[in-house]
Amino acid sequence: AEMMRAPAAAAREGADAAGAPRPLVIAVTVLTSLDDADLGAVGQQPPVVEQVVRLARLAQSCGLDGVVCSAKELPAIRAACGDSFATIVPGIRPAGGDVADQKRVVTPAQAIADGASFLVVGRPITQASDPRQAALDILASLGAPRARAPP
């Protein structure tokens, strides 16, 4: 717990001393490439959702601002930690997209509907044949107005 409290305190103190906005201090819960079987294989008791909520509560009790978690656990985290606790959600895949090595994935729209604070979208954009268009398509799936290509 001290390893989480120290950076949270340092971030507050450093930002205050610099007169700058305080950065969010975030902890990682369970990687989206892991599932219940993977947790059991490394000696952790499944289910994943219980581990994620336990880690989120610990992070919150240590003064952290939020966690990185799968959208699959968002309702449980919101119930345990409240709506102001930040959730950074990787494992985002467009509908019908390749899940690759990810085991706990959702669409961008589902993550937002479930209460994600921030989305992390990597390979669906970086490995697309047209990354710009892939990003625009994801934004459009969230109801964002279509961007125009620069002249």
Pairing of strands 26-28, 118-119: unpaired
**CATH T-level fold of 2-141:** TIM Barrel (3.20.20)
CA torsion 32→36→37→42, rounded to 10°?
80
Q: Is 93 annotated as a binding residue?
A: yes
Q: Is 102 annotated as a binding residue?
A: yes
- pLDDT tens per residue across span 32-76: 888 888 888 888 877 989 999 999 999 999 999 999 999 999 999
Q: Above 70 in pLDDT, residue 149?
A: no
Centroid of chain to Cα 29? 9
Helix locations, 2-130, DSSP H: 2-18, 36-41, 48-61, 74-81, 108-113, 123-126
Q: Is 43 annotated as a binding residue?
A: no
Q: Is 148 annotated as a binding residue?
A: no
Q: Which amino acid is residue 3, in one-letter code?
A: M
Query: CA distances (Å), 41 to each of 51, 99, 116, in order?
Result: 14, 22, 29
Which pTM does this prediction carry? Answer: 0.82
As a whole number of angstroms, the distance between CA 121 and CA 3 comes to 28
Q: What is the pLDDT of residue 96?
A: 76
As a whole number of angstroms, the distance between CA 139 and CA 31 comes to 24
Q: Is 122 annotated as a binding residue?
A: yes
